[in-house]
Copies of this chain bind each other. A is one copy, B any other.
């Protein structure tokens, strides 16, 4: 794997998924064999934002997030494109299929610790086709929240000790003005 790293980048250690490197005095982690990350802003025809909630070991609590996932992380997905990955992750995690999956923006979110960049998609024309809940390794609760109730829903989650992933706000900004969906 080290062969994939650019000149001047030194591997400090390799975990099973993440590699910690030193790049001229800067440290960050890189994830081998992953093409990127997709994050999906999915809004039902009834104007509800589809959110997922799952335990996240890094923060030791449950986190409310947009549906999201890794692209190209298994052998059968090496050639998967980002739009396909967004459809797959949305359906796996939430049980919703999307008629349209429109790319919104791409960029890093934590460039001080990671080389990850995320690509945001807008899922429209949703149809419930399954239960969601994630794959065998995941335990995901799905929430559909009317945009006008979002601020109260998130505040209530915080009061109950959950974290709110800030990518939710980025995604809502990127889809443009939506009635009532203010923080």
Partner-B contacts on A (CB < 8 A):
6, 12-13, 15-18, 20, 22-24, 26-31, 37, 56-60, 63, 65, 104-105, 107-118, 120, 163-174, 176-177, 182-183
Contacts and interface: CB of A to CB of B under 8 A. Distances in A.
A113 B110 contact: yes
Given A12-B13, A174-B183, A56 B108 contact: yes
Q: Which one of A60, A120, A183 has the greatest number of beta carbons of chain B within 10 Å?
A: A183
A43 to B, nearest CB: 15
Contacts of A27: 15-18
Given A59-B108, A173-B172, A173-B173, A28 B23 contact: no
14 contacts: A12-B20, A15-B27, A17-B27, A20-B29, A29-B113, A29-B114, A56-B108, A58-B108, A58-B112, A105-B183, A109-B110, A110-B116, A170-B173, A173-B173
Contacts of A168: 170
A104 B112 CA distance: 21
